[in-house]
Chains A and B, each alone.
Chain A
Amino acid sequence: QKEVEQNSGPLSVPEGAIASLNCTYSDRVSQSFFWYRQYSGKSPELIMSIYSNGDKEDGRFTAQLNKASQYVSLLIRDSQPSDSATYLCAVDYGNKLVFGAGTILRVKS
């Protein structure tokens, strides 16, 4: 069973703080990892992808990957109320993406 685990939350952070979202996966052979954001009632949209160990930064977002620990995370700096959404971690298991259940993030102003 190829699994992607996320804490469902909600994760509540004050505006301006760093939000840290975590994801673990079960298959060591996975090579590609993604974070999608989904606003309530909307469709998922890709915000970050990461393929190599280490950090990848894009604006206020940083994805971190540790393949040895089978762990991927997303940091959101200077969190804004507009970041309030569900964040889905997705892992490439060869021929398809497997999504986690998502973490609900709430940024309070």
Chain B
Amino acid sequence: DARVTQTPRDKVTEMGQEVTMRCQPILGHNTVFWYRQTMMQGLELLAYFRNRAPLDDSGMPKDRFSAEMPDATLATLKIQPSEPRDSAVYFCASGLGSPRETQYFGPGTRLLVL
């Protein structure tokens, strides 16, 4: 049963600390998305990659967030330094081709920044 995996599932950290979230897309999927979900803003696209190349990161605060795909089996999202307003659930999703193809979501990383 192919699934997107994310680690860690939960993360509590203090303001100013670096946070790294990891995602393993479904094998063979060439598109990876990072979303952030909060009660206030809902589900927002932060960045997405196709064939490991970043195509859109316009939703990501550039000063503190960075996203990379070191290889086809790993995507990372880093926040440095973290702030309390970054507290949210971060989802990774993968798919084939364009964003309009089915996106398969991982279980999410629940981040709390104190």
- A interface residue numbers (CB < 8 A to B): 31-32, 42-46, 49, 88, 92, 95-102
Interface SS of chain B: helix, strand, loop or mixed?
A: strand
- B99/A92 in contact, CB under 8 A: yes
Assess whether B45 is interfacial by the CB under 8 Å rule.
yes
Assess whether B48 is interfacial by the CB under 8 Å rule.
yes
Complex CA–CA separation, A95 to B50 (angstroms): 11
- B interface residue numbers (CB < 8 A to A): 42-45, 48, 55-56, 91, 98-100, 102-108
Which residues of A sit under 8 angstroms from B48, Cβ to Cβ? 96
Which residues of A sit under 8 angstroms from B107, Cβ to Cβ? 42-43
State whether A46 and B102 are in contact (beta carbons under 8 Å apart), knowing that A95-B55, A96-B48, A96-B56 are contacts in the complex: yes
Which residues of A sit under 8 angstroms from B105, Cβ to Cβ? 43-45
Which residues of A sit under 8 angstroms from B45, Cβ to Cβ? 96-98
Which residues of B sit under 8 angstroms from A45, Cβ to Cβ? 105
- A97/B103 in contact, CB under 8 A: yes
Q: How far is the CB of A62 from chain B (nearest CB, A)?
A: 19
Complex CA–CA separation, A42 to B37 (angstroms): 12
Q: List 6 A–B pairs whose Cβ atoms lie within 8 Å, in order of A's numbering.
A: A32-B100, A42-B107, A43-B107, A92-B99, A97-B103, A101-B42
Name the CB-closest residue of B to A31.
B100
Which residues of B sit under 8 angstroms from A92, Cβ to Cβ? 99-100
